[in-house]
């Protein structure tokens, strides 16, 4: 079987490269969590890669689906015109409405009628690989009964005959357990979309609970996500702490890494915190900086609360300050969290090697120390954050994000 990439961060990795052709992958959502944006992002990736797409809509009008896709920043109109995107309308018949689509299921309460219409649509796309999106299996069960799930066996065989791959959407309403088990057995892969409430924060995450084609996938690994408009699925890390001694360069890092950032300052140095937002490599991350002066130590634990990872900034020209950096981590209760050490000002006179900082901080060998430098020293203005080299900043983000998620 070939691999179809999804463009959803980390998901392809968990699926051993992506969706396998002829397979059925189920996006299994708990009530209140959207799963359609996952399908939209995958179908746009496949269309842009030259595949065709058939969207079977049973839960909403096809025009609503098209509008929702546009809401996330994508446009399927050109693909509809050239026949690469096809709607199979299994919704209008449920509400006794007239359909504007070429492929229309007259008896939408008959699973066999849906199968017959889907097979006709596949005849129109068999010259290319086709992604079939079914929205939704929950509606299929509600209107056609639990025996309608037997049609999935026919669909899967049809996928093999017509070079197609299925992405099906399902919401777990209070169905009988035997129905849920039947669905679990029929799916080749299952991505569960869940939520967890932490104090007043509701965080959504996905886990891969089944992958028939790769037994080595780590089960139960939760990936937090948010749905950006526009943009689609982003891995969401709500809090990364950026800490380090006074004048180490925390504000420079937060401002250089962020698409937008603010600082609370007095006489040119941060006296409370920096806050920045990062959109990078499919991640959506909030950075929170701390003040470095000892008089603010009592609030470090408060600032470090609920952080999922730490970026420790150290001045390479002041190696003794590395001891203070380690002390700040302890006071912020950040010890034990994933962290990387940033050796700032690595190109300035008097800068020490990263291993010297490792000795000062008594760091294990597996902790990464990443040197960073300013883009142009001649452009640095007094009392303003320096612009760090983009490549250096990305090395730091890549290293930490890989540990957090």
Question: In this predicted structure, what is the pLDDT of residue 213?
Answer: 85
Question: In whole angstroms, what is the distance from residue 261 CA to residue 274 CA?
Answer: 7
Question: Would you say residue 328 has pLDDT above 90?
Answer: no
Q: What is the pLDDT of residues 66-88, one digit of tens each?
A: 999 999 999 999 999 999 999 99
Question: In this predicted structure, what is the pLDDT of residue 231?
Answer: 85
Rounded mean pLDDT, 275-285 = 91
Question: In this predicted structure, what is the pLDDT of residue 199?
Answer: 47
Question: 95-99, 240-244, 299-303, 350-354: which range is least confident on average?
Answer: 299-303
- Return the percentage of the chain with pLDDT > 70, whole number: 93
Rounded mean pLDDT, 209-238 = 80
Question: In this predicted structure, what is the pLDDT of residue 271?
Answer: 52
Average pLDDT score over the chain: 89
Between residues 55 and 198, which one has the greater pLDDT? 55
SS (H, E, C) 197-260: EECCEEEEEEEEEEECCCCCCCCCCCEEEEEECCCEEEEEEEEEEEECCCCCCHHHHHHHHCCE
Between residues 335 and 27, which one has the greater pLDDT? 27
Question: In this predicted structure, what is the pLDDT of residue 216?
Answer: 56
Question: 152-156, 169-173, 183-187, 320-324: which range is least confident on average?
Answer: 320-324
Rounded mean pLDDT, 6-10 = 90
Q: What is the pLDDT of residues 383-393, one digit of tens each?
A: 678 899 999 99
Between residues 199 and 256, which one has the greater pLDDT? 256
Question: In whole angstroms, what is the distance from residue 238 CA to residue 257 CA?
Answer: 15
Rounded mean pLDDT, 145-169 = 95
374-to-15, 70, 346, 390, 398 alpha-carbon distances in Å: 39, 39, 9, 9, 19
Question: Would you say residue 51 has pLDDT above 90?
Answer: yes
The domains located in the chain, with CATH, are 3-230 (3.40.50.300), 237-404 (3.40.50.300)
**First-to-final CA distance of the chain:** 28
159: closest CA among 126, 201, 208, 196?
Answer: 126
Question: Would you say residue 200 has pLDDT above 90?
Answer: no
Question: In this predicted structure, what is the pLDDT of residue 218?
Answer: 56
Question: Would you say residue 277 has pLDDT above 90?
Answer: yes
Residue indicated by tokens 């749905």: 227
Question: Would you say residue 332 has pLDDT above 50?
Answer: yes
- Return the percentage of the chain with pLDDT > 90, whole number: 67
91: closest CA among 135, 150, 35?
Answer: 135
Angle made by CA atoms 139, 142, 146, in degrees to the nearest 5: 110
Question: 151-155, 270-274, 359-363, 399-403: which range is least confident on average?
Answer: 270-274
């Amino acid at each position: 079987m070939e691999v179809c990439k999804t463009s959803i961060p980390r998901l392809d990795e968990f699926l051993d490269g992506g969706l396998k052709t002829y397979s059925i992958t189920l996006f299994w959502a708990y009530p209140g969590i959207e799963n359609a944006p996952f399908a939209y992002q995958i179908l746009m990736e496949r269309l842009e890669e030259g595949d065709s797409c058939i969207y079977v809509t049973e839960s909403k009008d096809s025009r609503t689906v098209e509008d929702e896709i546009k809401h996330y920043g994508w446009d399927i109109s050109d693909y509809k015109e050239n026949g690469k995107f096809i709607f199979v309308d299994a919704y209008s018949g449920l509400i006794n409405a007239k359909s504007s689509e070429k492929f229309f299921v007259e008896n939408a309460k008959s699973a066999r009628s849906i199968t017959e219409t889907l097979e006709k649509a596949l005849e129109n796309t068999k010259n290319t690989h086709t992604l079939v999106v079914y929205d939704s299996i929950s509606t299929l069960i509600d209107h056609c009964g639990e025996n309608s799930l037997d049609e999935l066996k026919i669909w899967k065989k049809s996928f093999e005959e017509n070079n197609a791959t299925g992405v099906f959407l399902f919401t777990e309403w209070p169905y009988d357990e035997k129905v849920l088990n039947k669905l679990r057995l029929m799916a080749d892969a299952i991505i569960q979309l869940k939520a967890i409430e932490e104090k007043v924060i509701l965080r959504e995450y996905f886990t891969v609970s089944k992958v028939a084609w790769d037994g080595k996938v780590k089960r139960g690994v939760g990936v937090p996500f948010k749905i950006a408009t526009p943009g689609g699925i982003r891995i969401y890390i709500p809090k990364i702490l950026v800490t380090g001694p006074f004048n180490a360069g925390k504000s420079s890092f937060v401002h250089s890494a962020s698409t937008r950032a603010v600082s609370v300052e007095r006489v040119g140095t941060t006296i409370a915190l920096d806050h920045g937002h990062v959109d990078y490599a499919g991640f959506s991350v909030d950075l929170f900086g701390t003040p470095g002066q000892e008089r603010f130590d009592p609030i470090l634990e408060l600032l470090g609360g609920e952080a999922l990872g730490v970026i420790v900034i150290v001045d390479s020209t002041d190696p003794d300050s590395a001891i203070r950096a380690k002390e700040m981590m302890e006071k912020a209760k950040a010890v034990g969290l994933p962290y990387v050490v940033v050796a700032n000002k690595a190109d300035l006179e008097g800068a020490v090697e990263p291993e010297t900082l490792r000795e000062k901080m008594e760091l294990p060998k597996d902790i990464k120390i990443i040197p960073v430098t300013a883009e142009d020293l001649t452009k640095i203005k007094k009392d303003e954050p320096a612009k760090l080299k983009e490549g250096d900043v990305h090395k730091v983000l890549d290293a930490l994000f890989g540990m957090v998620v």
